[in-house]
Amino acid sequence: MVPFGTAPFIKAALETAAFVRRFFCACLRPGVTSPLMLKAFHTPPDLLRGLAAPAKANVPLAPRTWYRTGGSAAVYTQPENPDQLAAVLARAHEHGVPFYVLGSGANLLVADAGVDGVVIRLDAPGFRKMAVDAEARRVVAGAGADLFKLVPATAKAGLDGLVQVAGIPASVGGAVRMNAGGAPGDISRGLTRVRVMDGRGDVNDLPRDAICFGYRHTDIAAPLILEAEWRLDAGDPRGLTALYKTLYARKRDSQPMGDKSAGCCFRNPPPGATDGATAGMLIDRAGLKGFRVGGAEVSPLHANFVTAAPGSTTANVLAVMDHVADTVDRVFGVRLQREVVVWGADGT
Ligand SMILES: Cc1cc2nc3c(=O)[nH]c(=O)nc-3n(C[C@H](O)[C@H](O)[C@H](O)COP(=O)(O)OP(=O)(O)OC[C@H]3O[C@@H](n4cnc5c(N)ncnc54)[C@H](O)[C@@H]3O)c2cc1C
């Protein structure tokens, strides 16, 4: 038991230690790994032994995210079907080990120390299936299907509704989870059903009217999205393909699509919180374009993007984001909220 009166000192000491660790991690030169960033995993490396799902221990996640930063997954698995997936969940639950679902890693920052748990990726062929039925105006896609393939296929088939998310890097699962979109529209348009798996491995079909879609948010409680279905409007394939190209080019010209990032780092402030200024406008007005820590930088092209040059660390990126949020708060009195999902200790 902690003696009365010492708790504030212990809290202060812990906060100081955390600050020192963050400071050293943030100030590292790109590409240099500090012993402060290394962390032993508690997850048994052979946790999934004997199961059918292919699994490996200590798998680097940086190549599997758009940021290309961060450490390893203690255990990484790519189940081939829902039965294998359910067995993985059961084993993790049995051992009290957390699990994380990875899409295409386009809205994700992984802590430099890695992720102590099971990272599940639904990118086996069974989870990547796409069916585009022009006559029935029906589209069904697995969680692992790539939006870069699905969206032009719907345009080519003369189906209108998904073309509005042209140029957004995502798996179907990640796009539905985040309600990916922008000014032209979002992934929920025309959506009729989402197939999910709960933490016990039970599969359910959620009809559209059972799901609330908000700004970069869904209220789907189940941890795993397995499949989504849309009923789209009929349109002209040539016109839709032209629209796809226009929206794609507009994105490419206004955002640093060639740099490593996770798209917009911060959510736009709620209506009424500003004079209509977006997060990017506030960051720009605060003079933060070009602010950098290590290889991480507020993009000079689009202020709501923090890009990471090769060799950057996640701590670099988080240090830039923290500075941006603090500065915007100080200058405009608006606390920006992260849109990017952060996994692991550096995010807490
Ligand atoms: C250059 C660039 C531009 C971008 N532009 C946009 C934009 O215009 N609009 C926009 O909305 N976003 C944009 N983003 C962000 C990103 O594309 C979206 O958030 C997208 O939805 C992420 O999908 P993902 O498959 O990569 O998910 P991930 O980044 O892998 O994961 C994101 C979250 O979804 C969860 N998740 C992933 N798959 C599943 C699943 N099968 N079941 C349950 N949960 C799951 C993860 O656990 C995590 O919490 C951009 C990103 C980049 C890099």
- In order of start, what are the domains of the chain with their CATH numbers? 34-121 (3.30.43.10), 128-254 (3.30.465.10), 279-347 (3.90.78.10)
Residues 6+ apart with CB under 8 A from 93: 199, 200
Q: Measure 143 CA to ligand 1 centroid, in angstroms.
A: 12
| pLDDT recorded at residue 145 | 98
Which residue among 122, 129, 177, 203 has the greatest number of ligand 1 atoms within 8 angstroms of its CB, and so is best to mutate? Answer: 177
Band the pLDDT of 25: cuts 50, 70, 90.
very low
Nearest to 59 by CA among 40, 38, 73, 49: 73
DSSP state of 135: T
What CA–CA distance (Å, rounded) separates 78 from 142? 14
Q: Are 124 and 76 in contact (CB under 8 A)?
A: no
Question: Where would I find the H helices in 28-156?
Answer: 82-94, 147-156
| pLDDT recorded at residue 346 | 52
CB-ligand 1 contact for 314 (6 Å cutoff): no
What would the mean pLDDT of 275-300 be, rounded to a whole number?
Answer: 97
Band the pLDDT of 45: cuts 50, 70, 90.
very high
Token code pair at residue 266? 């911060």
| pLDDT recorded at residue 26 | 40
Which residue among 123, 164, 165, 168 has the greatest number of ligand 1 atoms within 8 angstroms of its CB, and so is best to mutate? Answer: 168
Active site members: 216, 264, 339
Residue 348 pLDDT greater than 60, yes or no = no
CB-ligand 1 contact for 263 (6 Å cutoff): yes
Residue 206 pLDDT greater than 60, yes or no = yes
Q: Are 211 and 220 in contact (CB under 8 A)?
A: yes
Band the pLDDT of 4: cuts 50, 70, 90.
very low
What CA–CA distance (Å, rounded) separates 301 from 257? 10
Which run of H or E residues covers position 100? strand 99-102
Q: Measure 334 CA to ligand 1 centroid, in angstroms.
A: 25
What would the mean pLDDT of 47-76 be, rounded to a whole number?
Answer: 98
Residue 11 pLDDT greater than 80, yes or no = no
Angle at 277 between CA 275 and CA 281, to 5 degrees: 145
Residue 188 pLDDT greater than 60, yes or no = yes
What CA–CA distance (Å, rounded) separates 316 from 30? 8
Residue 5 pLDDT greater than 50, yes or no = no
DSSP state of 312: -
CB-ligand 1 contact for 235 (6 Å cutoff): no
Q: Measure 234 CA to ligand 1 centroid, in angstroms.
A: 27
Q: Are 98 and 117 in contact (CB under 8 A)?
A: yes
Q: 59: which strand partners?
A: 73
CB-ligand 1 contact for 220 (6 Å cutoff): no
Q: Tens digit of pLDDT for each residue in 249-262?
A: 999 998 998 999 99
Q: Tens digit of pLDDT for each residue in 231-247?
A: 999 999 999 999 999 99
Residue 22 pLDDT greater than 50, yes or no = no
| pLDDT recorded at residue 108 | 98
| pLDDT recorded at residue 15 | 40
CB-ligand 1 contact for 196 (6 Å cutoff): no
Q: 130: which strand partners?
A: 141
Residue 2 pLDDT greater than 60, yes or no = no
| pLDDT recorded at residue 160 | 97
Q: Measure 144 CA to ligand 1 centroid, in angstroms.
A: 12
CB-ligand 1 contact for 101 (6 Å cutoff): yes
What would the mean pLDDT of 129-144 be, rounded to a whole number?
Answer: 98
Residue 65 pLDDT greater than 80, yes or no = yes
Least confident of 4-8, 65-69, 173-177, 306-310: 4-8
Amino acid identity of residue 195, one-letter, is R
| pLDDT recorded at residue 19 | 38
Amino acid identity of residue 95, one-letter, is H
Residue 52 pLDDT greater than 70, yes or no = yes
Question: Angle of helix 147-156 relative to helix 237-254, nearest 10 degrees?
Answer: 150
Q: How many CB atoms lie within 10 A of CB 149?
A: 11
Q: What percentage of the chain exceeds 90 in pLDDT? A: 84
Which residue among 67, 89, 104, 107 has the greatest number of ligand 1 atoms within 8 angstroms of its CB, and so is best to mutate? Answer: 107
Nearest to 148 by CA among 165, 131, 123: 165
CB-ligand 1 contact for 103 (6 Å cutoff): yes
CB-ligand 1 contact for 180 (6 Å cutoff): yes
What would the mean pLDDT of 17-27 be, rounded to a whole number?
Answer: 41
Residue 248 pLDDT greater than 90, yes or no = yes
Q: How many CB atoms lie within 10 A of CB 62?
A: 18
144 CA closest ligand 1 atom index: 41
Q: Measure 280 CA to ligand 1 centroid, in angstroms.
A: 19
Give nearest CA residue, ligand 1 atom 4: 263
Residues 6+ apart with CB under 8 A from 103: 121, 122, 143, 144, 170, 171, 173, 174, 175, 177
Average pLDDT, the chain: 90
Token code pair at residue 147? 């939006």
Least confident of 26-35, 100-109, 213-222, 287-296: 26-35
226 CA closest ligand 1 atom index: 41
Give nearest CA residue, ligand 1 atom 9: 181
What would the mean pLDDT of 276-304 be, rounded to a whole number?
Answer: 97
Band the pLDDT of 39: cuts 50, 70, 90.
low
What would the mean pLDDT of 297-312 be, rounded to a whole number?
Answer: 97
CB-ligand 1 contact for 64 (6 Å cutoff): no
Q: Measure 108 CA to ligand 1 centroid, in angstroms.
A: 7
